[in-house]
Amino acid sequence: MPGPVPKDSRIRQRRNKVATRAGMIVEKAPRQRAPRLPKDRQWHPLTRTWWRQVWASPMAEEYLDADLGGLFILADLVDRYWREPSKELAAEIRLQRQCYGLTPIDRRRLQWEVQRVDPEARPVQRRLVEEERPEEREDPRRILQFPRDARERTG
């Protein structure tokens, strides 16, 4: 036996919106120079590439001097992973990189949104703006109303 007909998505009460407006739009800033990796060792070439990519990303503008120590620790983990890959190192890298918004899901958790230049590249943003103006849309519940003359006959 089929269940009840689902509600129209436009009249649902819960829309899984972010609870706070603490989100931040991270803008692509002019490329900043990456801090130098410590010279205490010969870094793996893939680690050097990763380090340059981190500092060329828009998120680098949000890093404070206090974040540098944690990023050096993460660079050490990445370097060790490229030399001797292991599941344990991969798991630790995944945990550590969350703090710095280095993947799309990490940025989502931090409520960071990277601003793009192309307006066509942001269909999700347009949809959210449209959802914030429900009074401009037609109410789907309108089809459930009795015609005026039918109400008068039943009342």
User: Residue 16: inside a domain, yes or no?
Assistant: no
User: Structurally, how many domains does the chain consist of?
Assistant: 1
pLDDT given for residue 72 in this prediction: 94
Whether 53 is in a domain gets the answer: yes
21, two tokens: 């407006």
| 138 within some domain | no
Report the SS3 class of residue 111: coil
| Residue 51 maps to a domain | yes
143 inside domain = no
Using one digit for the tens of pLDDT, what is the confidence trace for 99-108? Answer: 888 888 888 8
Does residue 85 form part of some domain?
yes
| pTM greater than 0.75 | no
In the chain, the percentage of residues whose pLDDT exceeds 90 is 28
Domain of residue 97 covers 39-127
Identify the bridge partners of residue 24 per DSSP, sorted by sequence position. 112
- Any domain includes 140: no
Query: Does residue 109 form part of some domain?
Result: yes
Residue 63: Cβ within 10 Å count: 18
User: Higher model confidence: residue 64 or residue 129?
Assistant: 64
Backbone angles phi, psi at 120, to 5 degrees: -75, -15
* Residue 27 confidence class, pLDDT cut points 50, 70, 90: low
pLDDT, tens digit (0-9, with 9 covering 90-100), for 37-58: 989 999 999 999 999 998 988 8
